[in-house]
Amino acid sequence: MSGIKYRKKYTIQVTIPGSKVYGNSISVTMFRPAFNTHSFSMNQRLLVLGNDKVTAFGNSVYNIDATTPRSGNLAPAGFYLLFVVHQDIPSQVSELSSPPVSSSSAPVIARFSADRGVAELQFCQDSNVIHGFDVNLGTSQLFKLGPVQSLCVSESSDSNKEKLYSRGVTIQFRNEEESRDFHSAFEQWQNEDVTQGTDLPNGTTSAARSKFDNKIEPSSAKMYFHYYGQLLHQQNMLQDYVRTGTYYAAVIENRIDFTGRVVVDVGAGSGILSLFAAQAGAKHVYAVEASEMAEYARKLIAGNPTLGQRITVIKGKVEEVELPEKADILISEPMGTLLVNERMLESYIIARDRFLVPHGKMFPSIGRIHMAPFSDEYLFVEIANKALFWQQPNYYGVDLTPLYGSAFQGYFSQPVVDAFDPRLLVSPPMSHVIDFSEVKEEDLYEIDIPLKFVASVGARVHGLACWFDVLFNGSSVQRWLTTAPGAPTTHWYQIRCVLSQPIYVMAGQEITGRLHMVAHNAQSYTIYLTLSAKMWGPGAEQGVVLQTSSCKLDLKEPYYRMSQPQPYTMAQDQQPHQLLQVQDIPVQTLDLEEAELLQQPLENSGAQLQ
């Protein structure tokens, strides 16, 4: 019950099993628990309302009419527990939350966060925040009603100091372990310095550990920020003219999205994207950069004063910094090898949740991972030959052969980063779509992609080739930035997962499998790849798998093979018109219905400025 007023009559329906109930054996009580005090008894208050009328409805159901106190002198405004007492036995606590969901409904998730220096608790279902149940942990208490039930009481006030009130939420857990974990997290967040209720100055960070710190190994983060804090690496990215030119075109051609708008540059680096946004007429740009590159960005921006007066550089992680206003548009270059390496996409999503206004724009807004099986005998032999060193039975009198098997598998656990000839692909590619405006951060912790291809040629399949592209879905112009084989090469190149045991396929044969990527705390992913060739020819409809090959790779430790693509030898059963031209192959947008949005025009594949 909520919104109860003074001197009002209310009807409470209860179920009292047993014999007939008499009016003089029932009373209604209101109990206010202690709040914001170390002594439970100091603020405790119990009111007995009695009953005005008891009406029986059959099946042990009764309506009890009771009148609330006359004024706040006896019952100060606040949160009360309401009980019906029968023969000195109180009823169960009245439910203050919404009715329990069915087992088929999505569970409610408790999310702790810090907003402008204040720790908060929100409840979410199906990734949507349940409005009206936000809890300020600095003014809240948690009571344990039972092994799997708790009560959270939050005291609040509006601008009129006379109108103090409290809100309560009963929380039902699935088991005692969940209850213990929730109480532990509640207490930990209350004890953090961030819960003291003071706003943090713009650009500073809280003392509490952020999401980034909780999921990333400190040594990995240190090396990561050291790397991107050096100008030579920023130069390497700036000189990727496909990358930089596409960003520039996407921003300038969509001035309508930037003019007069507040922009947040997530992971600003040298600040080049912030300067592009200012050129497009942004009202103000907040350039957030966690590495020492923030100081270089300040110098660069100060050296462009006509633009720099509308840019503020903030040194810190997007998970921690505070901004004075929300953003109308986010811009970032969060892509790593295979799109997700370095796990900066998660920071991009966190920035969306923290800073972006509802229905704000994101540049880029969509990413696609493209995959296709490939055949490359040169690459396979090159990797296999690396392990031959360990086949020496007499290396300075030492037999190295016991380590040959481990070395062989070790070399095949490295994804290969290079540019390859698209004619090495054995089938048209498929794609996995990630919508940055909709995806949850947790969805990026584990990515599972079922694979299904039909071979265009007969070949020995040596593994899976992958690349990505991203869409800048501007109001005026849509721009794609692609890393596809055959397109102008970028500093991302392409990536290939090579099987230690190739599989053989015929033209028209179905290839199935699974690409499973699991994030780890070194800011990358462990890749599990399985490819299988199904039966071909008569009886193929039975779906019998003839060959299967699997491998495990660490995306953090790739083999950078920067040599030019090897000469391509045409297979005997392959005609020239069958050679795969990647840009001309329709993309299977299996994960998104809006196929029209995801069409990639050939003229944009190079993303060169006109």
Active site residues: 333, 342
For residue 11, the one-letter residue type is T
Instruction: Name the maximum alpha-carbon separation found in the chain.
Output: 101
Distance CA 291, CA 278 (A): 22
Smallest CA-to-CA distance from 514 within 460, 452, 465, 591 is with 452
Compute the distance between CA of residue 420 and CA of residue 160 in angstroms, rounded to an integer: 69
Backbone angles phi and psi of 442, in degrees to 5: -65, -25
Cα 152 to chain centroid distance, Å, stands at 28
Distance CA 246, CA 250 (A): 6
Residue 437: strand, helix, or coil: coil
Residue 300's CB is within 10 A of a number of other CB atoms, namely 19
The total of other beta-carbon atoms located within 10 Å of residue 546's CB is 13
Torsion of CA 31, 32, 37, 41, to 10 degrees: -30
DSSP designation for 200? P
> How far is it, in rounded angstroms, from Cα 84 to Cα 12?
8
Beta strands at 118-125 and 128-129: parallel, antiparallel or unpaired = antiparallel
* String of DSSP letters for 368-435: EEEEEEE--HHHHHHHHHHGGGGG-S-BTTB--GGGHHHHHHHHTTSPEEE---GGGBSS--EEEEEE
Q: Are 543 and 534 in contact (CB under 8 A)?
A: yes
DSSP letter assigned to residue 359? E
CA distance 210 to 201: 17
Q: How far is CA 172 from CA 101, 106, 175, 207, in A?
A: 10, 14, 9, 31
358 CB-contact burial (10 Å; exposed 0-12 / middle 13-18 / buried 19+): exposed
CB atoms within 10 A of CB 493: 20
Beta-sheet pairing, 61-67 with 9-15: antiparallel
Give the residue from 530, 491, 493 showing the smallest Cα distance to 512: 530
Helix (H, G, I), strand (E, B) or coil at 213: helix
The tokens for 542 are 């039975």
Q: Where are the beta strands (DSSP E) in 474-544?
A: 478-482, 494-505, 510-520, 524-534
Cα(567)–Cα(264) distance, rounded to whole angstroms? 45
Per DSSP (E only), the strands in 37-133 are: 45-50, 53-58, 61-67, 81-86, 89-90, 108-115, 118-125, 128-129
**Measured CA distances, 384 to 495, 499, 500, 501 (Å):** 18, 11, 8, 11
